[in-house]
Every structure is written in C-alpha cells, then in structure tokens.
Structure 1
C-alpha cells in the first residue's frame, strides 16, 4: 500500500474539543492550549468559534482567545463562522481561516441549524463571498457525512451535494466528518472515493470521532484512498453538543503514533503533544488518550 509521504494534521482541540465541556474552561487555559499546540508544530490550529454564546456558551470568549494567543509564523489559526456576524468577529480577530459548517443529513441540519441543507448553503454564501473579498482562507466542514443520530444512514448523494456547494463557494478544503463516530473503514473508503470525484482529493480531510473505537482504523482507510489531511484533538477531547452520545475526536497522540509507525511525516512533535494531552486532561479531570497515556507511563517507568 502506497501512503502519502506527508500528511497535514489539523488540531481541533481548542474548538471542537472544548465546545462540549459542561464547565466553562478559563480563557487562560484555552490560550495556553492553543500556544502549546502551535509550539508542538501543528500547521493548523482550530482556535475557537464565533457563534452565538446562547448556543455554545463555551466559545463566548473567542475574541479574547484570538487576541491573546502567541501566533507562530506559518501556522493557520481557524475559527468557525456560521453567519456574517461571526465572520465580522473572525475578521476583527485576524483569523487566518474561516470555517463554514453544513450537515449532509437533512434531519441534523434542522436540529443543529434550524434550516434545511439547501437553506444552510444559501446562508453561507455571503460568508464565502466576504472571505474571498478579504483574502481569507475558506474551509467547509461537512458534518454527519457518515451517519446521523436522527436519521441513521446518510445518502452519499446528500454528502456530494454539500461537497459540490462548498466547492462552488470557493472552499480550499472540506472536512468529511463522522460526527457521531459510527463509521467503519469500508464506509469511509466508499464515501471518500465518491467525494474525491467531486472535490480535489488534496483538499479533502478526514474528521473522525471515536465513539465505537473505529477512528484510527478509519484514518487508515482514508489513507488507503489517498487522503492526506486529518483532524484530531489532543487527548481525544470533544463531542458534539447537538449529537447525543457522540464521544471525542480521534486523539492527536494516537494519530501521530500511527503516522510515525507508517513512516509518514507530520512535522508535529509527538512528545510535546503527549505533554499537552496530559496537562489538559489533568485540568479537565479526565483520562487522556491511549497512546498518550502509554507514552507517559513508559517515561515514568
């Protein structure tokens, strides 16, 4: 099997990882998390989101986080922007990339965005235009692409519709997200191969959650079809506030350990990420990732 020589790992812990925490995480901790992750060498850090605090209170301090992080030259700092108000916040915060997010599942779109898939795409159009006008990178997050908590199976044609719309809007990358972690490798291959016929494969990212313990296997399945961008979260933090039972993202430590074993370059310091995973897990009083815990235990022995 011929894998890419290098992959890009997008670290989503500060945003996707923390958004579901019930207790408010102090801004100081969020800033330090971003700084630790960028210092570890992640080329892209998803720092926060500019969404209504009513819907995601954890992200209410997004502007302050963006103002205080120590920006590492060459690192892309991304923020989620669901509408023009969010875009204006992202612009003021000097975000390097804005992320629009739409669901492939009609039921999830209604529950999460209170509108149909087609309506959600129309809402994002002005954000996409504004990003283009200001020369800001645009990324599209395509949630529930591999399964939905409300309708179950999601037709591939619905995934392709959103992928095509994101492409038309000018998205440089699109994230094919297994929001609730139900996918298995065969499904991942099938969906990724189909999407690659509609969107340049070098701009397709795999975003897997580990609810059923399949996330690392799904990363390998995506590698099999030529995907070279993956999203992960230090310590496997995460979940979805709108998807009951969804557990964390695939852990950055687990993905980095995998890539090292496959001789695939990432440019990210695994040991630094292990330290960060142990630190944030201690702060949140939870277990860290499997690879992170194993490496930390080996060091301590």
Structure 2
C-alpha cells in the first residue's frame, strides 16, 4: 500500500502584506497604495487582512497613516460596489503595547477601528525585551489587562508566540516553552494564537514536531495560525510540514516581502528599530502568498482565493516596491493543464511508424 501524506481539504489564508510586508520597506508606501492592495486582496477572496500597526509613529513611520487607512478601507466605494459583506471580513492591527491597544479601542469607538488586534511575546526573554522593552512577567500582566478592555470594546485579540524554533539573539529555544506560552495566551483570554517563525529558524521536521505537540495540547485548529519566514528558503517546506501535522490556517505576504521594521524611511534614519539581523535585508521575508496559493491549488486544497487575481497582484507589487521580489509563481504561473503543442518536435509519429511501433507504445 502506498503511504500518502495527510492534508486538510480546505485551508484559511490571511494576508499580512500591508502591515508585515510594508514595515520592512525603506520607503514610505503611500496610503493610496495600501488602500488599493487591501481592496484587491479582499476582492481576491481573503477574509482576514492585517493592515497596520498602532505603535508609536516616530518609531514606525510606515504606519503614521493608521487611522486614515482604516477609515478609507471601511468606506471603500470599490468594496461597496462589489457587495462585500463586512461581517465576513476581519481587519487586524498590530498593538504590541498598551498605548497602541488604547488607540485601537478609540478607533473602534469611532466606527472604523480594527476587528482584531495582535499582541506578541517571545519565548526568549532577550528577544522579547528587544521588541517590547518589558520583561515577560511584566508583559503578561499588561497583555491580560489589554485583552480584557479590548474584548469589552468588541475587539478580538490574537496572541503571537515568537522565537519558537530559535532566537536571532539567544540562539536555540525549547519547543515545550512555546506550547506553554500558547496555553497561557488562551488562559488570559486571547481569541487565537499566531505561531511565528520570525527569523526563518524553523526546519520542516521541527515544524511538524511542534504543531503535533500543539494539537495534542490544544486540538482546536481554529485557534492556530502558522506564520513562516523564508530567510533560508524553507518557507513552503514548513507550510507543507504544518499542513501534514493538521494546521489549516496560514498567512503570508505578496512577493514574500516583510521582516524587521525598517530602520530607514525615505531619506531619514528611524530611531528605535535597531540593526537588522541579516547582512542583506532584501534577502529575507515571509512565505510568498502567491506561491503558497498556487501550491495548495495544485495539491487540490481549497483556498477560496482567486488564483489568477493574486498572481496579477504579485506582478503589480513589484512595481510598487521597485524591485524583483521572491515569487516564482508570478514568473512561471500555474502548472499547465493542457498540451503546449508549440514546443512539440516534429516527426515523432512518422518515426514510430517507421519502427513499427504502435501509437502510445512506450516499451519494446
């Protein structure tokens, strides 16, 4: 009997280009462009879009337009004309600290705020401190307080666990700790968990092991999101490993852009973001959403995404960013489903006749 890999028949995909993708770019991406891609991603079939960061605009100038962006997406004429049901769409904003959570709540009260916010811990306390300026016990207390008031305001809170497979600061980490961190997020009221490989340290075998541990501890797949970076070229292999473990919610970015917040915007250095972890900041990023969608589609896994539309967006994104990005699918497309006779070499039929072979005969 042939052994088959086991995959979910259907997955849920989120796009985080506008937040995680654009935060790594060293030029300001216009609000017009952000609105355009948000609209097009929703029209392509994405139900969950991560669109901005409510952190300090002086440290994160890419998102100085957070309020305006959310207002414009909510009031989009293009989406109204398309009959988009906003009850099916979830807009997410990153809110690492309480001040950002308060901004999100205020925006919600004014009618345009996010449906969901994201807070983040790292199992490596050095990495966590570099990102947040808090100790882990200090942050957990803040997160519990924030979850309570965000939930009261009608906002879901996603708890992210980072440095699961290793830390760019402290090196190796323990998978068991990440499982405990995930449990604690749910204990204090998080709506779901993003399991993040933020620096591309995960290998497929360890991804499978970790998500098997997670689903043993917390079996409900609705609670788990897989977030992979592709810094070392293993991103889609890790997606495959997570699928095989039973995970069915994934996220990525157009062109695989993204990573650490840029420490330079346009012509100005940005304080507070620190040095990049890698020598070439353009050689890192997330799993490419176009490649992931095409791969899953070819595997017969239902994504709910318009494949051709997302490939077109991948081509447009290269113009927006101004360089060649990391998608293979926008270059080579989907696997051909019909003969491409323009590449046929003439003379095969005649030669088979000369040799006395039957049409379709492949063995002597």
**Match in the other structure for 1:25:** 29
Matched, 1:6 2:6: no
1: distance between equivalents of 2:128 and 2:157? Answer: 20
Matches within 5 A, 1:136-215: 136-202=155-221, 203-215=223-235
2: distance between equivalents of 1:125 and 1:48? Answer: 22
Instruction: Please state how far the C-alpha of 1:181 moved relative to its aligned partner.
Output: 0.8
Matches within 5 A, 1:1-301: 1-69=5-73, 70=76, 72-73=84-85, 74-91=88-105, 92=107, 93-202=112-221, 203-241=223-261, 244-245=277-278, 247-288=284-325, 289-295=327-333
TM-score, normalised via structure 2 length: 0.78
Instruction: Please state how far the C-alpha of 1:68 moved relative to its aligned partner.
Output: 0.5
2: distance between equivalents of 1:117 and 1:191? Answer: 22
1: distance between equivalents of 2:146 and 2:22? Answer: 24
Contact 2:13 2:251 in 1 (8 A): yes
Instruction: Please state how far the C-alpha of 1:17 moved relative to its aligned partner.
Output: 0.5
Unmatched segments (≥5 aa) in structure 2: 262-272, 337-341, 343-364
Q: After superposition, give the CA deviation of every residue in 1:56-100 in whole Å (9 maximum; x if it has no partner).
A: 221111111101013642111111112332223223132111111
Instruction: Please state how far the C-alpha of 1:250 moved relative to its aligned partner.
Output: 0.3
SS class of match (2:258)? coil
Moved more, 48-57 or 211-220: 48-57
2: distance between equivalents of 1:141 and 1:54? Answer: 24
Instruction: Please state how far the C-alpha of 1:51 moved relative to its aligned partner.
Output: 0.7
Instruction: Please state how far the C-alpha of 1:292 moved relative to its aligned partner.
Output: 1.9
Q: After superposition, give the CA deviation of every residue in 1:172-223 in whole Å (9 maximum; x if it has no partner).
A: 2211111001211011011112222333441111100111100000000001
SS class of match (2:131)? helix
2: distance between equivalents of 1:200 and 1:12? Answer: 25
RMSD in angstroms over aligned alpha carbons?
1.8
Moved more, 107-116 or 14-23: 107-116
Instruction: Please state how far the C-alpha of 1:259 moved relative to its aligned partner.
Output: 0.7
Unmatched segments (≥5 aa) in structure 1: none
**Match in the other structure for 2:339:** none
2: distance between equivalents of 1:5 and 1:244? Answer: 37
Moved more, 86-95 or 224-233: 86-95
Contact 2:115 2:154 in 1 (8 A): no
Contact 1:163 1:198 in 2 (8 A): no
2: distance between equivalents of 1:196 and 1:120? Answer: 26
Instruction: Please state how far the C-alpha of 1:43 moved relative to its aligned partner.
Output: 1.3
2: distance between equivalents of 1:259 and 1:16? Answer: 22
Q: After superposition, give the CA deviation of every residue in 1:156-183 in whole Å (9 maximum; x if it has no partner).
A: 2321232122111222221111100121
Contact 1:201 1:226 in 2 (8 A): no
